[in-house]
Structures are given as C-alpha cells and as structure tokens.
Amino acid sequence: MSFKLVALLGFMTLLFGIAIGFFFGYGIGNANSVKILRDEDAKVSQPVTKEIELRGTQICLPHKNQNGPQTKECAMGLKATDGKNYGLDLSSLQPDKVEEFMDGATVRVVGDFTPETALSTDHWQQYDMEGIVHVTSVARVQ
C-alpha cells in the first residue's frame, strides 16, 4: 500500500471515530438532562366536565359581537333560568327526544358540562355562552 492510501484510510478512520464519539457523547449528555418525574412530582389533573342539570328555554345562541352582519345559522342553545346561555350537544339523544327542543320550548336537561374556557375549538368562541352541555336526558317542563 502506498503512503497516500494509508494516510487517507487513517484520516477516514479518525473522522469516523470523531463522528461516532460525537453521537454517543450527545446521546449521553441528553440522557443526563432528562428529568425523571417521581410520583410526588406528578400533577393529577381534574376532569374538565361535570354533570349539570338545567331548566330553561331553547334558543339559538346569540353572537358575542353584535356589530356588523350576522350569519343565519342556529347554534342550539338553552337560556337557563339563571339567565345564562348554554350550548347544547344533542348528538347522544334519540331523534324523537330531539323533538323536545322545539323553538321556545321550556325543558329540563341533564348532561356533562364543559366550560367555554376548556373547549378545544375556536368555533364556539363567537357565541355568548357559558359552555356546552352534552345532553344525556331531556324532558319538557310545563
């Protein structure tokens, strides 16, 4: 073998060794910087939803911003006896039970309430409401 070939192989071996050392060193360095959470460090998050019972009148939720043009969609809501508006998710009800929500009907709803601040979509932020009730039970009130 010629001297140039031996020097080239030695140089390539040196570069390969540096590269391997860098990757192993980087991995060990990061492994030492990982924080291990102990049970006492872990935070237990409280559930966002809670069961709620409301009485009120079925409405289309009003928009927060009343200035300018308004869309004509109707986001199903409830004007509760406490004067607050609540969005209604009726997806778990049977179709015949949805009929209880005829416009202006006074009803009692039971379901899981999610406050507006915990909603994951901005879509609902445009409505004047406290949050959404995933309705599990509904009955007309006379």
For the stretch 67-104, pLDDT in tens is 777 667 788 899 999 999 999 998 888 877 777 666 67
pLDDT category of residue 129 using cuts at 50, 70 and 90: very high
pLDDT category of residue 1 using cuts at 50, 70 and 90: low
> What is the pTM for the complete model shown?
0.62
User: What stretch of H or E contains 132?
Assistant: strand 131-140
Q: Which residues pair with 52 in a beta bridge?
A: 111
> What pLDDT is stored for residue 24 in this prediction?
66
> What pLDDT is stored for residue 40 in this prediction?
54
Rounded Cα–Cα distance for residues 66 and 134 (Å):
26
> What pLDDT is stored for residue 119 in this prediction?
80
> What pLDDT is stored for residue 47 in this prediction?
57
Kindly provide the b/e burial profile for residues 7-37, where b requires at least 16 CB atoms within 10 angstroms of the residue's own CB. Answer: eeeeeeeeeeeeeeeeeeeeeeeeeeeeeee
CB 107 within 8 A of CB 58: yes
Alpha-helical (H) ranges within the chain are 3-33, 95-98
Average pLDDT over residues 121-130: 82
pLDDT tens sequence across 13-67: 877 777 776 666 655 555 555 555 555 555 555 557 789 999 999 888 888 887 7
Helix (H, G, I), strand (E, B) or coil at 24: helix
Q: Which of 53, 58, 57 is nearest to 110 (CA)?
A: 53
C-alpha distances in Å from residue 38, one per residue of 30, 41, 42, 45, 46: 19, 5, 7, 16, 19
pLDDT tens sequence across 99-123: 766 667 788 999 999 998 888 777 7
